[in-house]
Amino acid sequence: MYVAVKGGERAIENAHRLLAHERRGDGKVSEISLDQISGQLSLAVDRVMVEGSLYDRELAALAIKQARGDMIEAIFLLRAFRATLPRFGVTEPADTGRMRVRRRISSTFKDIPGGQVLGPTFDYTHRLLDPQLAEASMPEAPATSEPSPATMPRVTDILGRDGLIESSPQADADTPVGDLTREPLSFPADRDLRLQNLARADEGFVLALGYSSQRGYGRNHPFAGEIRLGEVEVEFMAEDVGFAVPLGSITLTECQMVNQFKGSAAEAPCFTRGYGLAFGQSERKTMSMALVDRSLRARELGEEIVAPAQDEEFVMSHSDNVQATGFVEHLKLPHYVDFQSELGLLRKLRKEFSKAADASPPLREAAE
Amino acid sequence: MNAPAYNFAYLDEQTKRMIRRAILKAIAIPGYQVPFASREMPMPYGWGTGGVQVTAAILGPADVLKVIDQGSDDTTNAISIRKFFAKTAGVATTTSTVDATVIQTRHRIPEATLHGGQVLVYQVPIPEPLRFLEPRETETRRMHALGEYGLMHVKLYEDIAHFGHIATSYAYPVKVNARYVMDPSPTPKFDNPKMDNCPALQLFGAGREKRIYAIPPYTTVVSLDFEDHPFTRYRFDAPCALCGAEDSYLDEIVTDDEGSRMFVCSDTDYCETRQTLGHRGTESAAPHKERPHG
């Protein structure tokens, strides 16, 4: 006698219990703390905050711990929490020109006002596994000096003074910046929504698209005008008191790409911009984002759309890893009913095929 | 730490209001896909987030909820969603199609006839019936606006030319209220006729694709076909091995590795109700129940 598949409820409970056990790992090894994740896996925390669209190091660290280090799962956890948060308002535009800079480099000028500041970077390290790190160790204290009194103007602002680069769009109170988490996205999408989409997009996906644009699929001749990392004050316009109140400061990485010129009979040729901005230290993400942002401006700049990186429907519809992983992994769910329907159709077609084959024996080759 | 606190049925009231507006618009324009600002839900996209958001927006404390996946109340995802609402909304749940006021479903329409006042909420993976013919949203929206469905008919015609039949066995396209071509979600085409002139309200939620659409009660729903190739239902030609039903959609169960198979109702509530009424199939020697867990 056949007994229908049952007991799913208990199976789920037991699976989750086993998962919690696996997450903890060997009980003899001390448990990892949120401080340790936040402090020592800080770039992982940064990525989860960026793609999770929520600036909260502690919650991002918790998500990483709960997700057993699976980054997309951690991003998903943070997003699902973020979706339930009430929206009080929108901050003033962050002024990265007033950033307290920890790292700032330009590949377009040898020296710039304020200088090149390497800061904490993997660049120029030799990628040799360090056996000393296998043991507990305390690295040398970092070298220090007096902070430079010089201001650090953005490189694109220096170019902009001579009109060599298109001007940056100004904030306009009459046309508030869109929010694709609050309004359904429709195409064609403007640059504000494209940048929001790219900021939340999967780092690997944006990296690959940016890379494809460098390899000739929608080439746009980029230079890294400037990359800067540091702390920026966030201000909120409090209607009650009538002025902007500082809420605190957040760490941001900004990348401004300087791209091939554009000009017309009426306009003098000038460089164009590609822009990338992300929470924390996210250099790969912001550089890739700036490349793809520039590629996606093809429609606006009258360029022919020939490559995936220039196609906003393609890029924006597939960049979100929480959406992508959900839909790819939903194939794990039962599809018995549809499959049964397909089986029925296929059996019928095969039956008809063999009936037709029996009725008319295959023709012999003329040469035989 | 920012400890989370959740509203009745999980979603905050602003979000529910936004979803209800989309639902009202969808009911006003049967079969039209209304964009809505779908939220991240605590289950993955593609696992019913659209249906869950629609259910969360319409659920009241007095509702009785049934959740099925593949027709069954006992599949893992159905259990997971049912528990989610039992926990976040505290509503009564049931496996009985007749007793439920809201039924969330994936891939099936219950066999028992739905009645007025009930709401059937479908989980939809790809709401756009034209998507596999035209990948661009800007194009497909224009085609719907103009009622330009020639491409779909060409596809169905090509099926007939290649295979002698329309080779779509599930997610079979329908025309709603003689206006919009609509994807019924991946239900087997066996279920299509149940959508026509149905006394219950049918709501469709696609979370990842951010679309809601609806079939109001007693609306005409026609499966696309040709005069010389009329729409036909498919059902494996056998009675259910457990309840003997001749009119229900059947799951195929592989019972060994030597080609033995049996066929049982995919709608578990329908099958169990019939067994309770004394109907028997070839394999139902003794009634079976899940043992209580100690």
pLDDT tens per residue across span A10-59: 888 999 999 999 999 999 999 999 999 999 999 999 999 999 999 999 99
pLDDT band at residue B8, thresholds of 50, 70 and 90? very high
Q: Are A337 and B70 in contact (CB under 8 A)?
A: yes
Nearest partner of B111 among B101, B126, B96, judged by Cα: B96
- Cα(A191)–Cα(A197) distance, integer angstroms: 10
- Cα(B171)–Cα(B282) distance, integer angstroms: 31
> Which secondary-structure segment (H or E) carries A35?
helix A34-40
Note if B31 is an active site residue: yes
Q: What is the pLDDT of residues B155-188, one digit of tens each?
A: 999 999 988 889 899 999 999 999 999 999 999 9
Q: What is the pLDDT of residue A365?
A: 57
How far away is chain B from the Cα of A109, in angstroms, using its nearest Cα?
42
Which of A79, A181, A342 is opposite residue B169, by nearest beta carbon?
A: A342
How far away is chain A from the Cα of B170, in angstroms, using its nearest Cα?
6
Terminal Cα-to-Cα distance of chain A (whole angstroms): 57
Mean pLDDT over the full length of chain A: 90
* Chain position carrying tokens 């960049």: A319
Q: What is the pLDDT of residues B188-214, one digit of tens each?
A: 999 999 999 999 999 999 999 999 999
- Cα(A20)–Cα(A197) distance, integer angstroms: 33
- Alpha carbon distances (Å) from B238 to A294, B199, B261, B267: 61, 29, 12, 15
Q: Is A352 on the interface with B (CB under 8 A)?
A: yes
Give the mutation candidate from B45, B223, B243 for the A interface (greatest A CB count, under 10 A). B45
Q: Is the CB of B188 less than 8 angstroms away from the CB of A8?
A: no
- Cα(B95)–Cα(B89) distance, integer angstroms: 17
Note if B198 is an active site residue: no
Q: What is the largest CA-CA distance in chain B?
A: 67
pTM: 0.88
Alpha helix (H) residue ranges in A234-335: 283-296, 312-318, 321-329
Query: Alpha-carbon Rg of chain A, whole angstroms?
Result: 27
Q: Is the CB of B285 less than 8 angstroms away from the CB of A1?
A: yes
- Helix-then-strand count for chain A, H and E: 12, 4
Q: Is the CB of A80 less than 8 angstroms away from the CB of B290?
A: no
Q: What is the pLDDT of residues A233-248, one digit of tens each?
A: 999 988 888 888 999 9
CB interface of A with B, residues 258-317, below 8 Å? 313, 317
- Helix-then-strand count for chain B, H and E: 7, 12
Q: Is the CB of A326 less than 8 angstroms away from the CB of B44?
A: yes
Q: Is A332 on the interface with B (CB under 8 A)?
A: no
pLDDT band at residue B4, thresholds of 50, 70 and 90? low
Q: What is the pLDDT of residue B289?
A: 45
Q: What is the pLDDT of residue A172?
A: 80
